[in-house]
Amino acid sequence: MTKIRIWLFLQDYGGVLALLVAITATLGSLYYSEVAKFVPCTLCWYQRILMYPLTLILLIGIIKQDEHLPFYVLPFSLLGMGVSTYHVLIENGVISHPTTCTTGVPCSLRYVNYLGFITIPLMALTAFTLITVIMIATHRAFSHELGGDAGQTAVSTIPESRSAPYAWALLLATVLVLIALWALAAFRSWESNQALTTTAALGPASGQALFQQPTFGTAPGCIACHSLDPGVAGVGPSLSGIAGQAAQRVPGQSAGDYLRQSIVAPDSHVVDGFAAGVMYQGYEEALTKNQIDGLVTFLLTLE
Ligand code: HEC
């Protein structure tokens, strides 16, 4: 009986459930880019291209009560899972940063990092997986041919599903991918926390090494956005000669204080020609006090 109820529920509301996930993902993504002003990277754009149309496709499928809806939705959600998986693997250093990601912000840049590992691509992967799972189950529900009054009469004579076992295999595979990547991200975050707590005091040389590091565990490295060559702006300004400029940026603030402030609270002073909110905002948590000291000491040598 309950089994029948689930199938009937999915026939009626499977599309609606998937639509809710797609709308949440779309609004979340628009919030991050339009309100929080995070710049979407190349791979983020591919995920947006695959997620946004789903809101309309699902809506039309629901209005039309189209039982073929899963066939229109699954190509998008499965491709979306592929792109998000690739993105999560780059973020966690399993795949090296590809050349596709050289324009705009680096794809390994993490703007959002809840609990140290829940990033935008991981959330996108979760949304694409949920939509995929709901759509596969909805497809199964429709292929049960329950008919109008199945709930009352056909309990003992549920026809065996016409859909092949591939549907369950696919469903299991998608859920396993999701669990594996969550586990990977959580493990990487734990690993980098271990590394952070064992770091000793740092001088300018280790400050420089730190500056050149591509990532700090889960946070982006400085070199991802800043060049040390004069006049070469990346996502952020060139830091060539920053020691001299730092002393003049904010009246009454010493170069050292300004540099420390620029790292832990980048929006407290925004350099002309650059936008607020673009520099990674979480360095106070991502780096130890020693590491921040080391970076400041190094930057002060850039006369
Ligand atoms: C996501 C890109 C990004 C990353 C990563 C990043 N920054 Fe920045 N940074 C910016 C942008 C954009 C600005 C200019 C806007 C502002 O002042 O906030 C900036 C400004 C600065 C400034 C002020 C420069 C000036 O001319 O006054 C300093 C200093 C700085 N960053 C240091 C660092 C250090 C050190 C790191 C690594 C711990 C780092 N940044 C990581 C993007 C980034």
Mean pLDDT of the chain: 84
181 against 218, higher pLDDT: 181
18-48 pLDDT, tens digit per residue, is 999 999 999 999 998 888 778 888 899 999 9
Could you tell me if 181 and 268 are in contact, meaning their C-beta atoms sit under 8 angstroms apart? no
pLDDT exceeding 90 applies to what percent of the chain? 46
Which are the contacts of 132, defined by CB distance < 8 A and separation ≥ 6? Answer: 74, 77, 78, 81, 170, 171, 174
Tokens of 1: 């009986």
Task: Give yes or no for residue 82 having a pLDDT over 50.
Answer: yes
Q: Is the CB of 120 under 6 A from ligand 1?
A: no
pLDDT of residue 161: 52
| pLDDT tier at 193, thresholds 50, 70, 90 | low
Q: Is the CB of 207 under 6 A from ligand 1?
A: no
Cα(106)–Cα(45) distance, integer angstroms: 12
Q: Is the CB of 271 under 6 A from ligand 1?
A: yes
pLDDT of residue 35: 83
pLDDT of residue 34: 86
Mean pLDDT score, 286-293: 87
Handedness of CA 268, 271, 272, 277 (dihedral sign): negative
Q: Is the CB of 125 under 6 A from ligand 1?
A: no
Mean pLDDT score, 81-103: 84
* Most informative mutation of 113, 213, 262 for ligand 1 (most atoms within 8 A of CB): 262
pLDDT exceeding 70 applies to what percent of the chain? 87
52: left (phi over 0), alpha (psi -120 to 50) or beta: alpha
| pLDDT tier at 226, thresholds 50, 70, 90 | very high
Task: Give yes or no for residue 215 having a pLDDT over 60.
Answer: yes
Cα(198)–Cα(115) distance, integer angstroms: 20
132-181 pLDDT, tens digit per residue, is 999 999 988 888 655 444 444 444 444 555 555 777 888 899 999 999 99
289 against 77, higher pLDDT: 77
Cα(267)–Cα(220) distance, integer angstroms: 17
Centroid of chain to Cα 37? 15
pLDDT of residue 189: 77
Hey, whose CA ends up nearest to atom 23 of ligand 1? Answer: 262
Q: Is the CB of 109 under 6 A from ligand 1?
A: yes
pLDDT of residue 195: 60
* Ligand 1 nearest atom to the CA of residue 277, by list position: 18
Alpha carbons within 13 A on the beta-carbon side of 81: 22
5 against 158, higher pLDDT: 5
pLDDT of residue 4: 78
* Ligand 1 nearest atom to the CA of residue 106, by list position: 1
- The type of residue at 142 is F
Tokens of 83: 């792109």
Please give the torsion angle defined by the CA atoms of residues 282, 287, 292 and 298, in that order, rounded to the nearest 10 degrees. -100
Most confident among 25-29, 188-192, 227-231 (mean pLDDT): 25-29
Cα(250)–Cα(54) distance, integer angstroms: 48
Q: Is the CB of 14 under 6 A from ligand 1?
A: no
24 against 234, higher pLDDT: 24
159 against 239, higher pLDDT: 239
* Ligand 1 nearest atom to the CA of residue 242, by list position: 26
Cα(38)–Cα(194) distance, integer angstroms: 29
Task: Give yes or no for residue 98 having a pLDDT over 80.
Answer: no
Q: Is the CB of 216 under 6 A from ligand 1?
A: no
Which are the contacts of 146, defined by CB distance < 8 A and separation ≥ 6? Answer: 4, 7, 8, 11, 154, 158
* Ligand 1 nearest atom to the CA of residue 275, by list position: 15
Cα(290)–Cα(148) distance, integer angstroms: 69
Cα(235)–Cα(270) distance, integer angstroms: 13
Could you tell me if 209 and 219 are in contact, meaning their C-beta atoms sit under 8 angstroms apart? no
